[in-house]
Amino acid sequence: MTTKIGIILGSTRPGRNGEAVARWIHQLAVQRGDAEFELVDLLDYKLPHLDEALPPSLGQYAQPHTQAWAAKIASFDGFVFVTPEYNHSTSGALKNAIDFLYGEWNNKACGFVSYGSAGGTRAVEHLRLIAAELQMADVRGQVALSLFTDFENFSVFKPGDHQLQSVNGMLDQVVAWSEALSPLRAA
Ligand SMILES: Cc1cc2nc3c(=O)[nH]c(=O)nc-3n(C[C@H](O)[C@H](O)[C@H](O)COP(=O)(O)O)c2cc1C
């Protein structure tokens, strides 16, 4: 079966830089041919602040928006999280969307693409801790985009050529680890 990787666009604000970044990653990913890649925009799922009474680890979701989100995340074998850096962490919107679910994240690989004044690296360090609690395998390779050198005027996305290598290195690992973990998901 084809390995399916979700590229999760983790910022939701009007005028977000994240959209251009996530579209670029998706465009590069689909050229590879080693997996199916789908762009998942949090805006499309309209998740409120977490409003489920039961802990997500029970997998008993009462709200239709949670059920739709769970079905989408369950359909993937691995993920690329595209995250901004807000106050030295990821976005509240992405953390909230992650918190809604549990089992749908387990035993899957994830890689990170971040952007910010220091490449968004502090957001990724937080996401790696979160991934551990979700029983996800976070790959080492990551893409750190600088607001100073990969954007013009901090808003027009013009990634440096050297970033291509880090994108493909990260995707190589995400695809390989997603496949390697499939026996655990089957169990
Ligand atoms: C609430 C907020 C907090 C921010 N905090 C940081 C920060 O701690 N470090 C940083 O490098 N950039 C920070 N920034 C700048 C963002 O990285 C930059 O605006 C980026 O484009 C945000 O992603 P988005 O455009 O997809 O929303 C912050 C921006 C916002 C809106």
Give this prediction's pTM.
0.98
Confidence of residue 24 (pLDDT cuts 50, 70, 90): very high
Tell me the average pLDDT across 42-59: 98
Mutational test site, ligand 1, from 83, 85, 157, max ligand atoms within 8 Å of CB: 85
Tell me the average pLDDT across 93-115: 98
Q: What is the DSSP string of 140-179?
A: EEEEEEETTTSEETTTEE---TTHHHHHHHHHHHHHHHHH
Tell me the average pLDDT across 135-160: 98
Taking the centre of ligand 1 as the mean of its atom positions, its distance from the CA of residue 168, in whole angstroms, is 25
- Residues whose beta carbon lies within 6 Å of some atom of ligand 1: 11, 13, 16-18, 84-88, 116-118
Q: How far apart are alpha carbons 24 and 50 in whole angstroms?
A: 30
Confidence of residue 1 (pLDDT cuts 50, 70, 90): confident
Atom index in ligand 1 nearest the CA of residue 84 equals 23
Mutational test site, ligand 1, from 19, 43, 86, max ligand atoms within 8 Å of CB: 86
Supply 80's token pair: 């690329």
Between the alpha carbon of residue 174 and those of residues 10, 59, 80, 90, the distances in Å are 18, 25, 8, 20
Mean pLDDT of the chain: 98
Each residue's pLDDT tens digit, 151-174: 999 999 999 999 999 999 999 999
